Amino acid sequence: MESVRKIIHVDMDAFYAAIEQRDNPELKGRPVVVGGSSKRGVVATASYEARKFGIHSAMPSSQAYRLCPHAIFLKPRFSIYRAVSQQIMDIIREYSELVEPLSLDEAYIDASENLKGMQYASKVAQDIRRRIQRETQLTASAGVAPNKFLAKVASDMNKPDGLSVIVPETVSVVLHKLPIRKIPGIGAVTERKLHKLGIRTVGDLRAISERQLIGTFGKMGSWFYRIARGEDRRAVIPHRARKSMSVERTFLEDLSDKFEIEQKLRFLAEELEERLSKRSLRGRTFTLKITYSDFEKATRSITTENAISSPDQFLQMGLELLKKTEVGNRPIRLIGIGISSFLGDEEEDKGPPPSETQLSLLGRDRLEPAP
Ligand code: DCP
Ligand code: MG
């Protein structure tokens, strides 16, 4: 018999927005929307007050503006968020050697053998929440369960500032109505496929036989079968901070047309921006990677003083660097772009943010909602 693991998932509440409200008391209790700095202008997160208007992450800022014109729109201050994240992760690491950060504001903790010798994982979770609150003046929610999947489901159950525990006896009740999108490995495409089969909740999924799931989804099918029953054996894997982020495409047929290559680059630029902003990473080095049709590789990079952070900038730099390769004259089979030299680690805390009046004077520090 495997021993039962005690897994905790900690997730900060309205992370970016909560930090903005903490640092500027005038924003407390008000709808605050923190938005991406790219041209596409999407909402990174919204305070719980703004969520009442239907505003949520990944929504176009223009739509958020229509839903709540009196919301306060702010540009993200990544270096501050990274510093707070560091503080939180340091607290968490006092409790276990097995900590796996998922993003700036989220981590799994294996508390089975915690460093404080506490018997109950729920006590560990409460302790962590209390310390985060005391040391950062921010609230975190936590979930405690026998595995990662259930711990993450649990942390979502009592948000904000809540703690939930899922024990084996409550698994099926808790999962019954959970939308399948919450299952790790189910993205938009698989979700659509399952919806077509009339499967919308984990309860629906549970009614399908393992054979049928494997028949339709292959290996993934047996993962779905187990996860629908709350079974998840993934380990908490502590990892080091990431040093770079990149995206690439290998083509079915080698490409030599400059216009087509530029199109590919455009897609990659958007994709890279999305991945970076998900993890709130910004860096100063841009790298272009090419593999020619004969497998010879070429990389070119640029390092700048400030963060390179919009898809437009990625595209500009990509095109600039392409000129320094043989692209156009020689067919390529792969193109990739990436960002490294991340900001935050070496960057100093810039102190408290300007007050609201200063903010409105500094037009550029406000996120301009599209008309
Ligand atoms: N984030 C982002 N773009 C997204 C989702 C999130 O830039 N599409 C950023 C902003 C969030 C942070 O990551 O503050 C953490 O993401 P969460 O999904 O945990 O959302 P919040 O912490 O903001 O809210 P919640 O209380 O729901 O956890
Ligand atoms: Mg969060």
Q: Which residue of 51, 105, 155 sits with most ligand 1 atoms within 8 Å of its CB, as the best mutation to test the pocket?
A: 105
Q: What is the pLDDT of residue 371?
A: 34
pLDDT at 242: 72
**Number of residues that this document lists for the chain:** 371
From the CA of 48, the nearest ligand is 1
Close Cβ partners of 167 (under 8 Å, ≥ 6 residues apart): 145, 146
pLDDT for the residue 358 = 35
Three-state DSSP at 107 gives: strand
Q: DSSP string of 269-336? A: HHHHHHHHHHTT--EEEEEEEEEETTS-EEEEEEEEEEEE-SHHHHHHHHHHHHTTS-BTTB-EEEEE
A 10 A CB-CB count for 362 gives 10
Q: Cβ(61)–Cβ(21) under 8 Å? A: no
Residue nearest to atom 26 of ligand 1 (CA): 13
From 9, 11, 15, 43, the mutation candidate for ligand 1 (largest count of ligand atoms within 8 A of CB) is: 15
pTM of the model: 0.71
- What's the confidence (pLDDT) of residue 346? 44
- Domains annotated for the chain, with CATH where assigned, are 7-14+79-171 (3.30.70.270), 17-77 (3.40.1170.60), 174-227 (1.10.150.20), 244-362 (3.30.1490.100)
**Ligand 1 nearest-atom number relative to CA 277:** 7
pLDDT score at 148: 97
What is the CA(71)–ligand 1 centre distance, in A? Answer: 18
Token pair listed for 254: 């080698």
Q: What is the pLDDT of residue 232?
A: 95
Residue with tokens 């037009």: 363
Burial class (CB in 10 A: 0-12, 13-18, 19+), 337: buried
Ligand 1 binding pocket, CB closer than 6 Å: 11-16, 44-45, 57-58, 103, 105-106, 159-160, 277-278
Question: Residue 253, exposed/middle/buried by CB under 10 A (0-12, 13-18, 19+)?
Answer: exposed
Query: Which residue is closest in CA terms to ligand 1's atom 21?
Result: 14
Mutational test site, ligand 1, from 57, 273, 280, max ligand atoms within 8 Å of CB: 57
pLDDT value, residue 28: 97
Atom 28 in ligand 1: residue holding the nearest Cα: 13
Residues recognised as catalytic: 106
pLDDT averaged per 10 residues, the chain (length 371): 85 98 98 76 94 95 94 93 95 95 94 94 98 98 98 97 97 96 89 94 96 92 95 86 87 92 95 86 93 93 90 96 94 96 53 35 36 34
- Name which residue sits closest to atom 23 of ligand 1, judged by CA: 14
- How remote is the CA of residue 365 from the centroid of ligand 1, in Å? 20
